[in-house]
């Protein structure tokens, strides 16, 4: 297999993984780890951008540098393929009745994305808990989560660690069960959002 073709296939699998499961999931982290582990100094050939999946460069300069990694790249591609297609992975983990047609549906895509994020939260596989706030659907919970992270500012040592762990645990609870998290938030509204604070007030407190 040509080196450029192998790299294109790896990049495509990574994009498909993020499209199917989301970037804050164990599925993506596993693929990302495989790529980053191809060889020493592999980071020199990987493009990264916030909230975007990584990709291996295919520039002429990069291809020359990656030539010595060709066998490792091909083995990595094979390891990725052994995980199965996106449909096979979805059927194995989340929905045995899933079809290729349904997987193209925005509704089913959103549902699988949610299930993958939920599973990753349960297993503590979320790489960026603050970024995963965007995966919380309820705006009240999003506001409360961002406020909890804001409470960490200016703190150091054990105080920071305690507040940070509290914020992470809250986000994790939201991702696993928004209904339960919302109930707990409403029960502790006076302490969490300040009296009868509504969403607008909660957001204003973050500024």
Please report the pLDDT score of residue 189 as a whole number: 55
Model confidence at 192: pLDDT above 60: no
* Domain locations along the chain: 3-108, 131-204
Residues 6 or more apart in contact with residue 172 via CB below 8 angstroms: 121, 124, 126, 129
Please report the pLDDT score of residue 16 as a whole number: 97
CB atoms within 10 A of CB 144: 28
**pLDDT grade for 203, boundaries at 50, 70 and 90:** very low
Q: Mark out the alpha helices in 22-84 (DSSP H runs).
A: 26-36, 60-66, 70-82
Give this prediction's pTM: 0.82
Q: Are 141 and 185 in contact (CB under 8 A)?
A: yes
DSSP 151: T
What is the H or E stretch that residue 47 is in? strand 46-49
Q: What is the pLDDT of residues 144-176, one digit of tens each?
A: 999 999 999 999 999 999 999 999 999 999 999
- 164-178 core/surface letters (b: 16 or more CB in 10 A; e: else): beebbebbbbbbeeb
């Amino acid at each position: 297999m040509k080196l450029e073709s192998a790299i294109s296939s790896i990049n495509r699998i990574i994009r498909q993984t993020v499209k199917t499961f989301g970037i804050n999931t164990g599925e993506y982290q596993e693929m990302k780890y495989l790529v980053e582990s191809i060889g020493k100094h592999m980071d020199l050939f990987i493009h990264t951008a916030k909230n975007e999946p990584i990709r291996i460069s295919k520039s002429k300069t990069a291809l020359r540098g990656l030539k010595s990694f060709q066998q490792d790249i091909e083995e990595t591609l094979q390891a990725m393929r052994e995980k199965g297609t996106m449909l096979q992975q979805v059927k194995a983990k989340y929905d045995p009745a899933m079809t290729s047609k349904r997987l193209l549906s925005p509704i089913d895509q959103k549902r699988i994305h949610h299930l993958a994020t939920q599973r990753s939260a349960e297993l503590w596989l979320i790489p960026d808990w603050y970024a995963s706030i965007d995966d919380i659907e309820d705006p009240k919970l999003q506001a409360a989560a961002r406020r909890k992270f804001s409470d960490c500012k200016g703190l150091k040592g054990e105080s920071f660690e305690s507040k940070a762990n509290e914020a992470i645990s809250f986000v994790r609870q939201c991702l696993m069960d928004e209904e339960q998290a919302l109930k707990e938030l409403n029960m502790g509204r006076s302490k969490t959002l300040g009296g009868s604070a509504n969403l607008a007030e909660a957001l204003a407190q973050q500024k």
